[in-house]
Amino acid sequence: MVIPERVRCLFGTDGVRDVANNGIMMPEMAMRLGRAFVLFLTERGVPRPRVVVGRDTRRSGVMLESALASGMMSAGADVYALGVFPTPGVSYVIKNAGFDGGGIISASHNPAEYNGIKFLDSGGSKLSDDDEAMIEEYLGDNLLDDWRPTGASIGDLIDESGRVAEYAAWLTGQLAQVGDCRWPIVVDAANGAASDVARSVFSNWRGRVTYTGIQPDGLNINEGVGVIHMNHLAETVKRESAMLGFAYDGDTDRVLLCDGQGRVIDGDIMLWIISRYLASQEMLGRGVVSTVMSNMILDEKMAEEGIEIFRSQVGDRYVVEMMRKTGARLGGEQSGHIIALDYVATGDGLNAGILFLRACRELGEDISTLIDRFPRYPQVLRNIRIPDRESVLASSALEEARNLALQKLSGTGRILLRSSGTEPLLRILVEARDENVTRSVCDELERAIKSIAGEIN
């Protein structure tokens, strides 16, 4: 008997997300999601779950936190409220304090008017697609309305905001292992969840530290700062004559860097450097996981070091799944999600930045030359708006056009065709050493796709 695959409707690549107090991100939905998550846990053998809840700095966070916690308590869970807390910090607390899971209220890199909810398991990892689909099924289950704990079975709410000091202390300990470095640095916390934690941790840095994006007001998260606006970090680094800059997103699960010239050091370069350091410490396992979006130069650099590289679909939780499947201990994305499983269970921008510092120190790396020594293959990315994307992707005509394009690349590049998970878009990525060939191949594929779509419609 074949069991049909569950399909998610609310959950996207990184939780449920929408404009706060509108659409699907209403307090009523947050309450139902909280109850569904607890029912999901109790039906897996956790009779009175102990769950933590953290949020970023958005004004809507308190509203949704209250609703989510109420739903969880209504289903019989004890809720430990962390307050404003980085997503990886919530993961750290769950994993190290023995909680049964947790919820995070954040829309990560999105503007302040958005918010979202995502859940973590007892190991501090993001839930699988199947688990999220199961939670959605519980939303429509009569148990949510018929099964109501009463009296002493109703959950309690406990203030655990002091746990942020534990997370900061762990990071400070990691930073201390960098040694006696006195490089001038810039730290951009995106006016998000890391605003206080980053200042606490980097107050222990022996060199000069310039902070920016550390004054959240509930409405300025990611506004002109953080990983979405790297020009701000680049300009600050150059103005302050710093050697390195760190930029986080709203919930701090990502980090991107700038060198002293203001050039962006992305996740591919971080994987290149950190993997070599972990390999020297015999902490790399089978190798490194990157996504299908990573540049081909990363494959070349890994091959030079004798390090195996595996590719996953886009999304940090898919990176983690591939890491566990292959035995790799390091993985990440170009966008700055970096996961080192001997340290964290999910993307942690603060830890990744510190690990990068340790790696550069131990390997004797010259940060100012990293980008020059990482010559990327030219990439061309196109987004084509097509309602019936799956029919186009499944057509034999597209397969023929793709094979002709690969022949033109003559083994010196690659092509990636994929459907957007959030919009009616078909994405084309062409990558090759020769930029003119890259653009020509992408043009041909775009014309072929539009022609096929026209015939289908």
Are the beta carbons of 58 and 66 closer than 8 angstroms?
Answer: no
Of 102, 93, 89, which Cα lies nearest the Cα of 51? 102
Q: How many CB atoms are closer than 10 A to CB 135?
A: 23
Are the beta carbons of 233 and 245 closer than 8 angstroms?
Answer: yes
Using alpha carbons only, how large is the chain's radius of gyration in Å?
23
In Å, how far are 109, 160, 176, 415 from 51, measured between CA atoms? 25, 11, 31, 43
Task: Read off the tokens for 263.
Answer: 């050039």
Helix, strand, or coil here: 103? strand
Dihedral (CA of 217, 223, 227, 228) sign = positive
The residues, any chain, with a CB within 8 Å of residue 178's CB and separated by 6 or more, are: 354, 357, 358, 361
The residues, any chain, with a CB within 8 Å of residue 246's CB and separated by 6 or more, are: 185, 186, 187, 188, 233, 255, 257, 349, 353
Reported for 207-212, long-range contacts at CB under 8 A and 24+ positions apart, including other chains, are 207/181, 207/182, 207/183, 208/184, 208/240, 208/242, 209/184, 209/185, 210/184, 210/185, 210/186, 210/236, 210/240, 210/242, 211/186, 211/187, 212/186, 212/187, 212/188, 212/236
Give the separation between CA 329 and CA 350, rounded to whole angstroms.
18
Q: How many CB atoms are closer than 10 A to CB 162?
A: 9
Give the separation between CA 56 and CA 63, rounded to whole angstroms.
12
Give the separation between CA 233 and CA 125, rounded to whole angstroms.
30
Q: Any idea what the Cα angle at residue 89 is, between residues 88 and 93, rounded to 5°?
A: 120
Instruction: Write out the catalytic residue numbers.
Output: 108
Are the beta carbons of 292 and 269 closer than 8 angstroms?
Answer: no
In this structure, what are the phi and psi dihedrals at residue 347, rounded to the nearest 5 degrees?
-60, 130
Are the beta carbons of 21 and 130 closer than 8 angstroms?
Answer: no
Q: How many CB atoms are closer than 10 A to CB 45?
A: 6
Angle between helices 267-280 and 349-363 (to 10 degrees): 60
Q: How many CB atoms are closer than 10 A to CB 123?
A: 11
